[in-house]
Amino acid sequence: MEAIAVCAAQALSDGGLAVRRDALFYGRSASVFFVRFQGVAYGYLNQCAHVPTELDWVEGQFFESSGLYLMCATHGAIYLPDTGRCVGGPCRGGRLRPLVVEERDTPDGRQVFWLPDEHVIPVPISST
């Protein structure tokens, strides 16, 4: 599947707000999110490893107050931003579903791209 431009690289700051996108996960409505941690962009399915509910506190807010961990607003599960591994809470040892993310230089500047797989795909854009 073709790479999807997500945002300008500077739109993601370390420990800052995420960029969300609508997606389909095995054909069901879902969302994905993209964050930056220690200078690297990461992407995950927006679904807690404990119970399949979205993680963000408010739209785009995935990091807890220190900016070092992603946190599920519903269950309090704590995840490492660089691996998606749960290190605290009810799903310790579980993982967020990662996405393949690349940063590329383009004529419009450095951009973050999502490389969808067969199970997590962007929602098709309507032509109406």
Q: What is the pLDDT of residues 44-71, one digit of tens each?
A: 999 999 888 999 978 899 999 999 999 9
**Torsion, CA 5, CA 112, CA 121, CA 62, rounded to 10:** -130
**What is the structure's pLDDT at 124?**
76
Whether the per-residue pLDDT at 125 is higher than 70: the answer is no
CATH superfamily of 4-122: Rieske [2Fe-2S] iron-sulphur domain (2.102.10.10)
In a 3-state reduction of DSSP, which class is residue 26?
coil
Non-local CB neighbours of 7 within 8 Å, separated by 6+ positions: 19, 34, 111, 112
pLDDT score recorded for residue 75: 84
Mean pLDDT of the residues in the chain: 93
Is it the case that residue 24 has pLDDT exceeding 80? yes
How far are the Cα atoms of 1, 7, 84, 92, 128 from residue 34, in angstroms, in the given order? 18, 9, 12, 22, 28
Structure tokens, 76: 């309090």
DSSP per-residue letters across 39-63? TEEEEEES--SSSS----SSTT--B
Rg from Cα positions in the chain: 14
Query: For residue range 1-15, what is the model confidence (pLDDT) as tens digits?
Result: 799 999 999 999 999
- If one counts every other C-beta atom within 10 angstroms of the C-beta of residue 75, the result is 17
Does position 39 have pLDDT exceeding 80, yes or no? yes
